């Protein structure tokens, strides 16, 4: 069985979120803890701004939970930058152990799954799990210098500038992580780095179907099946792929990338990046869980595990999806 | 407490190792499963060769354990390349879930610690954990093109070309992972990227002392305190740092980087890279454990969590050390 069941139901006690001006013009605007007016966040480089956002999200999750640094047993974090420097440099500011993970844009779900697994087993009681991304650092690392003014193809997505995380503990809230499914790497041979949604949708399909098989649940068990950043096109592909396998998620599937921006104009297929579901889940969706407007969410975050080197060497894009079931209990 | 205690004592059932010609001229030569005569390993790029080595180590660990792909519950892996492409692309070849981690050269210990934690808790029974590195891919990613023929400063180390991993399970061998200590990020302000040993030694000191405090053990409990790739200079610094705290590891501390190359000539301080302790522990040291020449090893692998971007932006080098206690039980 690929799915871990957490009988002790670790709780998401509080979240911490921060996002850039473009993101906060959208649906998450009134839910995030901090809205940036300037996405440089007072720093001299994009990378430092990204790290500062992640540090803020970690600190804010602790603050919103009413806990101090000394109370936290571990930080689980990763990000998109080479050698996950945002996470590592953020971890430097905190006096607790750090477990670095990499799952590209699936990092939030991977972190939450691991946090829940370690808490459920009794190794630790209090964990912060967080991730983030920055449009400008991602563009210059993965694509082109912004100054080049490249046009963007219609399948492209816009990396979310933002960070989000949660304080997860053995007790302290009604919102629990009840199970998690770690995904397999799936590669359908897509080589177009501007079409991540199409590359990642098969991974989401694989993990979603596995999760339903393992738990014996139907898709409609969940009020919401929330993917991370498939975007509009990828989300449609996922719906079709699971439909072919006899599973209908037409009415309860939403993709964070698809909803994060109000106006689909420059962003084409919507948002992407590790920060995408980190901001959307931890602000807008978490608020709905707290208010019990929804009670059962499957957060299935996908990641494209490529690098500029692998693409330059002609490789296709291996993808992964990790899923965590988050429920009011 | 920073240390996880594994009452069910997950076992390292078998290992799989591969290394380049320079490495196999040294102490590990007669213990590795496969010696490469050509470090390109029949591939067209260094990165593809690195990935192929890691794939070999994973497969060989399974083969040496006598298990098949369908028997394995999970792969835990990471590496030094941007977006851990060696691990992600290796994972693509296997039909089991993948948990991507990043701890730079501490990745082996991080992977083993997580594998043991998940097995001990009963989530999974059979895990492969592995990592690797390649001199040429590391040089061109972190430093200079090889073609440039740069001279190397005397504090520098030589990235090991090799990969190693283990099949870790709930039963099947006398060699157990009995506890693990996840480290904190430690940064003493070192900015010289050619002096990794000095940067990483304080992290090793921090985790080692924490592990001894948490377990109530003296340093001489262990037959061997094996660091990953501090090199000759870093190893001396570690001995001094712990000595100042009243702990003596003069007689039972060895660094994989210090012993991996026979002739310290071009390599100055010895070996480094995620593959360093992956090759040395999983071949030479694991053999000694199997033959009961030694019975208690603390594998304390350190990682320098920098990137070329962080260094270019003037940042110092945050470091980490994760430790796993491996014992004949």
CA distance A7 to A177: 10
- Write out chain A residues lying below 8 Å of B309, CB-based: 47, 81-82, 85, 141
Neighbour count for residue A30 (Cβ, 10 Å)? 10
Query: Residue B267: what pLDDT?
Result: 67
Query: Residue B155: what pLDDT?
Result: 86
Query: Residue A262: what pLDDT?
Result: 76
Check CB contact under 8 Å for A96 and B184: yes
Query: Residue A268: what pLDDT?
Result: 79
The encoded tokens of residue A100 equal 């670095």
Distances, alpha carbon A80 to alpha carbons A112, A202, A277, A303, B197, in Å: 17, 21, 13, 10, 26
Check CB contact under 8 Å for B117 and A120: no
Report the residue from A82, A98, A185 with minimal CB separation from B184.
A98
Query: Residue A194: what pLDDT?
Result: 87
Report the residue from B2, B100, B123 with minimal CB separation from A4.
B123
Check CB contact under 8 Å for B307 and A118: no
Q: For B105-233, where are the E strands, in sequence order? A: 126-133, 158-159, 162-169, 175-181, 224-227
- CA-based end-to-end distance of chain A: 23
- DSSP annotation of B186: B
**CB of B191 within 8 Å of any CB in chain A?**
no
Query: Residue A185: what pLDDT?
Result: 98
Beta carbons of B298 and B208 less than 8 angstroms apart: yes
- DSSP annotation of B285: I
φ/ψ of A2, rounded to 5, equals -85, -10
Query: Residue B264: what pLDDT?
Result: 56
Check CB contact under 8 Å for A83 and B103: no
pLDDT per position in chain A (329 positions), as tens?
899 999 999 999 999 999 999 999 999 999 999 999 999 999 999 999 999 999 999 999 999 999 999 999 999 999 999 999 999 999 999 999 999 999 999 999 999 999 999 999 999 999 999 999 999 999 999 988 888 888 888 888 999 999 999 999 999 999 999 999 999 999 999 999 888 999 999 999 999 999 999 999 999 999 999 999 999 999 999 999 999 999 999 999 999 999 999 755 656 789 999 999 999 999 999 999 999 999 999 999 999 999 999 999 999 999 999 999 999 99
> C-alpha dihedral over A235, A240, A242, A244, to 10 degrees?
-170
Query: Residue A153: what pLDDT?
Result: 87
Query: Residue B193: what pLDDT?
Result: 86
**CB of B250 within 8 Å of any CB in chain A?**
no
Distance from the Cα of A62 to chain B's closest Cα (Å) equals: 18
Q: Which of B182, B312, B321 to mutate to test the interface with A (most CBs of A within 10 A)?
A: B182
Distance from the Cα of A164 to chain B's closest Cα (Å) equals: 19
Give Cβ neighbours of residue B139 (< 8 Å, ≥ 6 apart). Answer: B145, B146, B159
Q: Domain A3-169: give its CATH code.
A: 3.40.47.40
CA distance A227 to A234: 10
Burial of A179 (0-12, 13-18, 19+ CB in 10 A): buried
Give Cβ neighbours of residue B323 (< 8 Å, ≥ 6 apart). Answer: B109, B113, B180, B181, B183, B207, B208, B211, B298, B299, B300, B301
Signed CA dihedral, B125, B5, B323, A121: sign only:
positive
Neighbour count for residue A94 (Cβ, 10 Å)? 19
CATH topology of domain B177-328: Peroxisomal Thiolase; Chain A, domain 1 (3.40.47)
Fold equal for B3-169 and B177-328: yes
- Write out chain B residues lying below 8 Å of A206, CB-based: none
**CB of B183 within 8 Å of any CB in chain A?**
yes
Residues linked to residue A224 through DSSP beta bridges, in sequence order: A297
Check CB contact under 8 Å for B82 and A117: no
Domain definitions of chain A by residue range: 3-169, 175-328
10-residue mean pLDDT series, chain B (329 residues): 97 98 95 97 98 98 98 98 98 98 98 98 98 96 89 90 98 98 96 90 98 98 97 95 98 96 73 97 98 98 96 95 98
Q: Is A7 helix (H, G, I), strand (E, B) or coil?
A: coil
Contacting B residues, span 126-145, partner chain A, CB-CB under 8 Å: 141
Check CB contact under 8 Å for A99 and B2: no
Q: Which residue of A has its CA nearest to B107?
A: A100
Query: Residue A145: what pLDDT?
Result: 87
pTM here is: 0.98
CA distance A198 to A319: 10
CA distance B55 to B52: 5
Q: Which residue of B has its CA nearest to A320?
A: B98
Q: Are strands B34-35 and B11-19 parallel, antiparallel or unpaired?
A: parallel
Q: Which residue of A has its CA nearest to B97?
A: A184
Distance from the Cα of B228 to chain A's closest Cα (Å) equals: 17
CA distance B238 to A69: 27
Query: Residue B265: what pLDDT?
Result: 60
Check CB contact under 8 Å for A320 and B98: yes
Report the residue from A98, A114, A184 with minimal CB separation from B95.
A184
Please say whether the structural domain A175-328 has been given the CATH code 3.40.47.40: yes
Check CB contact under 8 Å for A120 and B118: no
């Amino acid at each position: 069985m690929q799915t871990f069941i957490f009988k002790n139901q670790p709780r998401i006690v509080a979240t911490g979120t921060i996002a850039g001006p473009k993101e906060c013009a959208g649906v998450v605007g009134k839910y995030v803890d901090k809205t940036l007016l300037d996405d440089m966040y007072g720093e001299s480089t994009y990378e430092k701004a990204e790290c500062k956002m992640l540090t803020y999200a970690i600190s804010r999750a602790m603050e919103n939970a009413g806990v101090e640094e000394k109370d936290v047993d571990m930080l689980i974090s990763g990000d998109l930058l080479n050698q996950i420097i945002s996470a590592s440099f953020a971890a430097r500011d905190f006096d607790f152990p750090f477990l670095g993970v990499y799952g590209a844009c699936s990092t939030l779900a991977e972190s939450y799954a691991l946090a829940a697994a370690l808490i459920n087993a009794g190794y630790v009681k209090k964990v912060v799990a967080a991730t983030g991304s920055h449009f400008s650092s991602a563009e210059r690392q993965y694509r082109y210098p912004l100054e080049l003014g490249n046009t963007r193809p219609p399948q492209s997505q816009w990396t979310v500038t933002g960070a989000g995380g949660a304080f997860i503990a053995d007790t302290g809230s009604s919102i629990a992580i009840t199970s998690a499914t770690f995904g397999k790497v799936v590669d359908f041979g897509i080589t177009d780095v501007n079409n991540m949604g199409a590359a990642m949708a098969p991974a989401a399909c694989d993990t979603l179907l596995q999760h339903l098989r393992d738990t014996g649940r139907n898709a409609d068990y969940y009020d919401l099946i929330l993917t991370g950043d498939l975007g509009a096109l990828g989300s449609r592909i996922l719906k079709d792929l699971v439909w072919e396998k006899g599973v209908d998620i037409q009415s309860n599937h939403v993709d964070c990338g698809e909803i994060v921006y109000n106006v689909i104009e420059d962003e084409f297929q919507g948002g992407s990046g590790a920060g995408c579901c980190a901001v959307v889940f931890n602000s807008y969706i978490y608020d709905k869980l707290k208010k019990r407007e929804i009670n059962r969410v499957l957060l299935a975050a996908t990641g494209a595990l490529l690098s500029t080197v692998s693409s330059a060497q002609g490789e296709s894009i291996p993808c992964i999806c990790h899923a965590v079931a988050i429920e009011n209990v």
